[in-house]
Amino acid sequence: MEKRWIYKQTPPREAVEKLSQEININPYLSTILVQRGTNDFDSAKAYFRPTLDKLHDPFLMKDMQQAVDRLKQAVDTGEKILVYGDYDVDGTTAVALVYSYLREFHPHCAVYIPDRHKEGYGVSRAGIEWADENGYSLIIALDCGIKASDMVVLADHKGIDFIICDHHLPDEEIPNAVAVLDPKRNDCHYPYKELSGCALGFKLIQAFARQHRNEQEVYRFLDLVAVSTASDIVPITGENRILTYFGLKKLNENPLPGLKALREVSQNRSDLDVSGIVFTLGPRINAAGRVAHASAAVELLIAETESEALELAGALNLNNDTRRQFDLDITEEALSMIHNNEVLRSAKSTVLFKNTWHKGVIGIVAARCIEKYYRPTVILTESNDKITGSARSVMGFDLYEAICKCSDLLEKFGGHKYAAGLTMEKKNLEAFQQRFEEVVTAQITSEMLTPSIEIDTTISFDAITPKFINVLKQMAPFGPENQRPVFEAQNVYVSNSLSNFKDRHVKFTASQEGNGSAFQVVGFDLGEHYEQLAMQTPFRMAFTIEENYYNGYTSIQLRAKDIKFD
């Protein structure tokens, strides 16, 4: 698929030179830092040397004092507290964090994760009825609840209070709970708006510990926060960057037993970064709720011994294998449906339905379809006599806003700009397919329908030195809004060792005209360029720089993201 190269604006030369001199780094790196808002010594120090004392005061969040006071009342009077959360990585890590903290000094608490297939997303009537039947008088809802006004009213009638910790966009009506912690509330002036659901749970226990216990004791759960932040694809900026930086440190040096066991069963031997979480730990935690019940993931994450954790992690690993097969089979079927239908092939959106598709993997299938047909995509299946599904978007297109314009056809929906979930009556399927296509067609641009690569700066191979790599590594953790820098190199040619593997990927040694440096390059899904590369035709290359570890030897490797022959 042809890709657009988008070049970031080059900052003023004076600003680049000033930062280069102040922190003694090369102009290529200072260019990237200035582009990302780091333009003087103090901001560079904060960026390269995160500290926990730069976390925001949790009491700056609206309703935080009410939440802490209600939690303290429950603890003091021995009330039964139910820690309730969504069934994905963010929800299960949030539940594990809050429950693990509370159980140390309050034995009257339990966890509740709704069944994806029977109850669906969010706070459910079944969950409230279970709480009522079992004598729970306070529910802490994590990664859900901001749209649960009716469920909060139902709970209130049963004498159950709610503390809601959610990071999704609220409706105009805020639930009438004891406390609603959501930085995206219009009336919340918390300085950082992009926390994950688990991070909001962390802020709640941080606030409680600050007033009533020892704040230092909550930092041992930061590995859970890092896993949620990485898996939920929230920005790695501001407070998230601090939480992820220290969470990764905890994860790699002294993880909780459940996370340590997950690393072992995934056979990961190197230090994990954000990408490592996304591709190894996240899918295994998610797999519990996708093919069985997500309570298995929580049991693992709250495990207190390594032996218990290893047994639970093994079961999750098997679930992940099952999930992967569902994913492959349904993706193949979905792509075939598009390929064999001229109307679907030429559409600006993809909306597919089949009643036998497994509800637990349709979000993954939506993302896979976008890899082939780059456009907003909704994958739907049948559940509890309703049609339910997951939607994913492309860069720049606000999926949530588009779904809002179809809201009269939906029973419920929620999500973000790039990912959402929805449920509708069967009779509305055809109307939704038509309306969604109309909305997308009216709003999407041709640029949005072409995948893009954002390039930070153009570089010469001889600038890639060990010092350069050392500084580059300190820009981590990388993730949304602090991505690993992408460079462009011009007048590149294959100088040695060109190979084509799995009929999809290429590997070669690259050199640059007028430059003595040469580097190993790997290009995944760039096998289509093999013949031209073999002709040693000069090309431009968009790439990232990484270290490759093999047999105890570390080398610099360039990962090609795209190649253009001019």
Is the model's pLDDT at 552 over the cut of 80? no
Asked, for residue 208, whether it belongs to a domain, the answer is yes
- Which residues touch 241 (CB under 8 Å, ≥6 apart)? 50, 477, 482
The answer on 471 and 432 residing in a single domain is no
CA distance 501 to 488: 24
Asked, for residue 430, whether it belongs to a domain, the answer is yes
CA distance 511 to 492: 6
Give the pLDDT confidence of 263-320 residue by residue, as tens digits: 999 987 788 999 999 989 998 998 887 777 778 999 999 999 999 999 999 999 898 8
The answer on 509 and 429 residing in a single domain is no
Asked, for residue 203, whether it belongs to a domain, the answer is yes
Exposed, middle or buried: residue 169 (CB in 10 Å: 0-12, 13-18, 19+)? Answer: middle
Please tell me the number of Cα atoms within 13 Å of 557 on its side-chain side: 16
Coil/strand/helix, residue 11: coil
Residue where a domain terminates, one of 443, 463, 481: 443
Asked, for residue 199, whether it belongs to a domain, the answer is yes
The answer on 527 and 474 residing in a single domain is yes
The answer on 203 and 159 residing in a single domain is yes
The answer on 309 and 427 residing in a single domain is no
β-strand partners of 562: 542
Phi then psi dihedrals of residue 112, to 5 deg: -145, 125
Helix (H) or strand (E) holding 433: helix 429-443
The answer on 432 and 461 residing in a single domain is no
Range of the domain at 414: 341-443
CA distance 270 to 251: 12
Q: How confident is the model at residue 416 (pLDDT cuts 50, 70, 90)?
A: confident
Q: How confident is the model at residue 550 (pLDDT cuts 50, 70, 90)?
A: confident
Q: How confident is the model at residue 322 (pLDDT cuts 50, 70, 90)?
A: confident
What CATH number did the domain enclosing 527 receive?
2.40.50.460
At residue 78, the pLDDT reads 98
Q: What is the number of residues in the chain?
A: 566
Average pLDDT, rounded, for the chain: 94
Q: How confident is the model at residue 565 (pLDDT cuts 50, 70, 90)?
A: very high
Please tell me whether the peptide bond between 27 and the residue prior to it is cis, using omega within 30 degrees of 0: no
Residue where a domain terminates, one of 443, 471, 491: 443
Give the pLDDT confidence of 67-80 residue by residue, as tens digits: 999 999 999 999 99
Coil/strand/helix, residue 267: coil
The answer on 220 and 108 residing in a single domain is yes
As for how many domains the chain has, the answer is 3
Q: What value, to the nearest 5°, has the Cα angle with vertex 155 and ends 153 and 159?
A: 115
Give the pLDDT confidence of 112-140 residue by residue, as tens digits: 999 887 887 789 999 999 999 999 999 99
CA distance 201 to 203: 5
The answer on 207 and 79 residing in a single domain is yes
What CATH number did the domain enclosing 433 receive?
3.10.310.30
Is the model's pLDDT at 94 over the cut of 90? yes
Give the pLDDT confidence of 478-511 residue by residue, as tens digits: 999 999 999 999 999 999 999 998 889 999 999 9
The answer on 457 and 309 residing in a single domain is no
The answer on 392 and 349 residing in a single domain is yes
Is the model's pLDDT at 549 over the cut of 90? no
Asked, for residue 331, whether it belongs to a domain, the answer is no
Residue where a domain terminates, one of 423, 443, 463: 443
The number of angstroms, rounded, from the C-alpha of 414 to the middle of its chain's C-alpha atoms is 16
At residue 227, the pLDDT reads 98
Asked, for residue 19, whether it belongs to a domain, the answer is no
Coil/strand/helix, residue 491: strand
Asked, for residue 44, whether it belongs to a domain, the answer is no
The 8-class DSSP code of residue 482 comes to B
The answer on 458 and 350 residing in a single domain is no
Of 102 and 547, the one with more pLDDT: 102
Is the model's pLDDT at 174 over the cut of 90? yes
Give the pLDDT confidence of 339-377 residue by residue, as tens digits: 999 999 999 999 999 999 998 889 999 999 999 999 999
Q: How confident is the model at residue 526 (pLDDT cuts 50, 70, 90)?
A: very high
Within 10 A of 180 (CB to CB), how many other CB atoms are there?
26
The answer on 267 and 119 residing in a single domain is yes
Give the pLDDT confidence of 261-270 residue by residue, as tens digits: 999 999 877 8
Asked, for residue 17, whether it belongs to a domain, the answer is no
Could you tell me the pTM of the whole model?
0.90
Q: What is the mean pLDDT of residues 390-411?
A: 95
Of 156 and 171, the one with more pLDDT: 156
What CATH number did the domain enclosing 112 receive?
3.90.1640.30
Proportion of the chain above pLDDT 70, given as a percent: 100
